[in-house]
Amino acid sequence: MKAHTRVCVIGGGVVGASVLYHLTKLGWSDVLLVERSELTSGSTWHAAGGFHTLNGDTNMCALQGYTIRLYKELEEITGMSCGLHHVGGITLADTPERFDMLKAERAKHRHMGLDTRILGPDEIRDYAPITNTDGILGALYDPLDGHLDPSGTTHAYAKAARMGGAEIYLHTKVEETNQRPDGTWEVVTDKGVIIAEHIVNAGGLWAREVGMMAGVYTPLLPMEHQYIVTDDLPEIYGRDTEHPHVMDPGGESYLRQEGRGLCIGFYEQPCEPWAVDGTPWGFGHELLPDNLDKIEASIEFAYSRFPILERAGVKSVIHGPFTFAPDGNPLVGPVPGKQGYWLACGVMAGFSQGGGVGLMLAQWMVNGETERDVSAMDIARYGKWISPGYTVPKVIENYRNRFSVTYPNEELPVARPCQTTAMYDIFDGMNAVWGQQNGLEVVNYFALDGEARYEVPSFRRSNAWDATALEVRAVREAVGINEVQNFGKYLVRGAAARAWLDRIMAGRIPQVGRLSLTPMLAPSGRLIGDFTVSCLAKDEFQLTGSYGAQEYHHRWFLQHLEDGVSVENISDTRTGFQIAGPNARKLLERVTRANVSAEAFKFLDVKRMSVGLVDCIVQRVSYTGDLGFEIYTSHMGQRALWNALWEAGRDLSLRPFGMRAMMSLRLDKFFGAWLREYSPDYTAAETGLDRFIAFRKDADFIGRAAAEAERATPPARQLCAFEVAANDADVIGYEPVSVGGKVVGYCTSGGYSHFAGKSIALALIPRQMVQEGLKAEIEILGEMRGATLLTTPLFDADGGRMRG
């Protein structure tokens, strides 16, 4: 056994083997994998082996497409068979809402180059004649869907990795992982000790146990999953072609051909978690006892959808555990605060996602960044608040919703509330309709008197419409108040703080008493953050960014930390409110003795002052695009700050507003949002954030060379705004944009401007096409809607009110 290695991958399932292969593919040959038993032990060996591209997250969908296309490459490299069956897949829709979801997914696929299409009931029967289409409105067909041999595929990954120089040690159990003073890792096995620069926890069912060896909590849980293989059926083995997959979300089932019969699996409501307190080390190639009782209702439904099953004998029942994260997506990436420790686990759809997970993790390790945004599977999406008490009920909820319609405005209820601010009970008493961000309860909107305090999930305009419109009007005509807890906030201090920020941030670092807006770039020039930087004192700065990205951003800061600088995440200790609208200054004047006139407190100023009873940091800026102020204080003083503002604003028509109104207000100014317009998928020049890059500053900031190159040669696409002739549904994101009948780009986000009374979409299209009045079409839920390009903001186009 080797004593030293660059990377030690722990776990020999399909994900660990994929990571090992992709590391060698990118040029790292000094890598190895250790497996306590045989390759495929755990979940891989008993997997149904199906693969598909359908995924609500567009980047995950693309990575699933990569995974599926990779299998032929693996076969060519190794000469081994993955047992590929590209039979195509049909996902049924039995309700208008589910059909809306499939039409929305089909629209995304058009700009991604995926060849999917919508089928009617007659076409469904042509592809899958065993399907009873009574009550079926339509389906989505994907020719890439299929299944494979799990064991053969895993061994093909392993052979390809070995061909690239990797080594694999079987029957080698990891007993300890200890970080050494130099940051490397001591991997203690029952066969000896390995010193590794990096560890990849691909432990699958045992990822929790492997993580705890390093003091790392991995939020996942194994769930019992059951599928049935039938005896031979003449309607199946007598076909000229193999029967396609059929996903029946309404029946919580997936079905495919298995040999001369069928395989059907279920995501049943009376589901069962497994090994909640830890996976036994002795478990490996065993199955769980059959439990047909818990899938009885699902089987009965399947009999009506696929009547052939009623007379099909059961050849075998496969009942085994798979791991799930709370949101169903993988847990991948560097663990914040643990140098050299990486996760590649929680991949419940290993044969759809394993290749993409391996590629992204290898790129991250070798290149320092990935080629696309992987926020949906980055472990940093879970902060220090995550616990087993949260994970267990959320995983159960996710399993039950595996085949449920995923709505853009849906707020799942389990394990809520988890984290709240001091304002929770006050806002709750004001009819708040709550959302959740990074574990935090955030107000989406305030229900009107007599209305239900529940937003109906929909792809179309929801029952939040009237309340949101009133909140928007309050901001534009009087003054609105909104909590700023859901901003990520960091305190940067030290003699070298300014120089460090000049290197980390691409924009101008302000002088004392001022703030600036700046993108943060990866070396490739891609966006990894957009921040407000406030200079509070000579050696003290506050950074403000996305609350949901706080662990992601803090990890980046710590990875690049230098002597003479300290960075503290104060997201949950510094909080407060923003006030915005024409009466905002008048309100602030009533609660402070400080001079906040337009002359004394200019746009982008930041000042310390007492507001009501508490000391605050007040910033002259607002994401609403209106006259506004952000007022920060300690979490202990938040209630006192609220009381002062609320009492003083009663005769100014002060009204609280939530995130639904915020997202409408920002459209008036064509402001982008993090992970919509601004993400690692895009560069500053593509999104317009290059206007905030300080190209003249004397600092070699991260990403400068790439940004300079784009300055000299602008990128091919550009972010712009469209007014859309929408009906009862607005753009959500990733809808294709067509000009002259040809897809030329796609939407990043959109919605309804209640101020302007217009449906607005933000989209990336070819730069040469961006001109006022360009006529286009945007596909929304299967309908082509006319769109006109806008270059002038809908509100305060010259910035007079915002800056005044």
The token pair that represents 750 in the structure block: 């959109």
CA distance 19 to 311: 43
pLDDT at site 513? 98
Strands 167-169 and 138-142: unpaired
CA distance 136 to 152: 36
Who contacts 86 (Cβ-Cβ below 8 Å, separation ≥6)? Answer: 143, 144, 145, 146
- pTM (2 d.p.): 0.95
Which 3 state secondary structure label does DSSP give 381?
helix
Best CA proximity match to 390, nearest among 579, 616, 161, 217: 217
What mean pLDDT do residues 117-126 have? 96
Would you put residue 508 in left (φ > 0), alpha (ψ -120 to 50) or beta?
Answer: beta
Who contacts 584 (Cβ-Cβ below 8 Å, separation ≥6)? Answer: 479, 622, 626, 627, 628, 629
The token pair that represents 240 in the structure block: 């000229």
The answer to whether 214 and 338 have CB atoms below 8 angstroms apart is yes
The answer to whether 519 and 683 have CB atoms below 8 angstroms apart is no
What's the pLDDT tens digit per position in 284-304? 889 999 999 999 999 999 999
pLDDT at 725 over 90: yes
DSSP structural state of residue 85: B
Would you put residue 667 in left (φ > 0), alpha (ψ -120 to 50) or beta?
Answer: alpha
The answer to whether 211 and 201 have CB atoms below 8 angstroms apart is yes
**Matching residue, tokens 């000049």:** 502
The DSSP-derived string for 152-200 is HHHHHHHHHHHHTT-EEE-S--EEEEEE-TTS-EEEEETTEEEEEEEEE
| Strand locations in 98-137 (E) | 117-119
What's the pLDDT tens digit per position in 655-708? 999 999 999 999 999 999 999 999 999 999 999 999 999 999 999 999 999 999
H-run or E-run covering 712: helix 704-712
What's the pLDDT tens digit per position in 196-238? 999 999 999 999 999 999 999 999 999 999 999 999 999 999 9
**CA torsion through residues 723, 547, 474, 618, sign:** negative
- Alpha-carbon distances, residue 424 vs 40, 427, 433, 462, 638 (angstroms): 47, 5, 11, 24, 11
Please report, in angstroms and rounded to a whole number, the separation of the first and last CA atoms in the chain: 70
Phi/psi for 409 (5° steps) reads: -110, 15
- Alpha-carbon distances, residue 217 vs 135, 371, 388, 398 (angstroms): 45, 27, 9, 19
The answer to whether 518 and 531 have CB atoms below 8 angstroms apart is yes
What mean pLDDT do residues 31-39 have? 97
pLDDT at 113 over 90: no
% of the chain with per-residue pLDDT over 70: 100
HEC string of 53-76 equals CCCCCHHHHHHHHHHHHHHHHHHH
Q: Any idea what the Cα angle at residue 569 is, between residues 566 and 572, rounded to 5°?
A: 150
The DSSP-derived string for 599-657 is TTS-TTBEEEEEETTEEEEEES--TTSSSEEEEEEEGGGHHHHHHHHHHHTGGGTEEE-
The answer to whether 207 and 11 have CB atoms below 8 angstroms apart is yes
Who contacts 553 (Cβ-Cβ below 8 Å, separation ≥6)? Answer: 488, 490, 520, 528, 529, 545, 546
CA atoms within 13 A of residue 81's CA, in its CB half-sphere: 6
% of the chain with per-residue pLDDT over 90: 95
Best CA proximity match to 294, nearest among 389, 363, 228: 228
**Matching residue, tokens 């059909």:** 99
H-run or E-run covering 644: helix 638-648
The answer to whether 248 and 371 have CB atoms below 8 angstroms apart is no
What mean pLDDT do residues 129-138 have? 97
CA distance 608 to 610: 7
**Matching residue, tokens 């509330």:** 417
pLDDT at 54 over 90: no
What mean pLDDT do residues 407-418 have? 96
The token pair that represents 90 in the structure block: 């049909």
DSSP structural state of residue 649: T
CA distance 695 to 337: 32
H-run or E-run covering 532: strand 527-537
pLDDT at site 56? 79
The token pair that represents 210 in the structure block: 């492997």
pLDDT at site 172? 97
HEC string of 428-464 equals HCCCEEEEEECCEEEEEEECCCCCCCCCCCCCCCCCC
The residue type found at 680 is P
CA distance 505 to 531: 9
CA distance 776 to 759: 14
The answer to whether 747 and 721 have CB atoms below 8 angstroms apart is no
The residue type found at 388 is P
pLDDT at site 114? 84
**Matching residue, tokens 């994900």:** 15
What mean pLDDT do residues 268-278 have? 95
Q: Where are the alpha helices (DSSP H) in 37-148?
A: 58-78, 96-112, 121-127
pLDDT at site 55? 85
Q: Is 696 exposed, middle or buried (0-12, 13-18, 19+ CB in 10 A)?
A: exposed
Per-chain mean pLDDT for the chain: 96
Cβ neighbour number for residue 165 with a 10 Å cutoff:
14
The token pair that represents 112 in the structure block: 């991604």
Phi/psi for 46 (5° steps) reads: -105, 10
DSSP structural state of residue 253: E
Q: Any idea what the Cα angle at residue 50 is, between residues 47 and 53, rounded to 5°?
A: 135
What's the pLDDT tens digit per position in 474-503? 999 999 999 999 999 999 999 999 999 999
The answer to whether 136 and 91 have CB atoms below 8 angstroms apart is no
pLDDT at site 478? 98
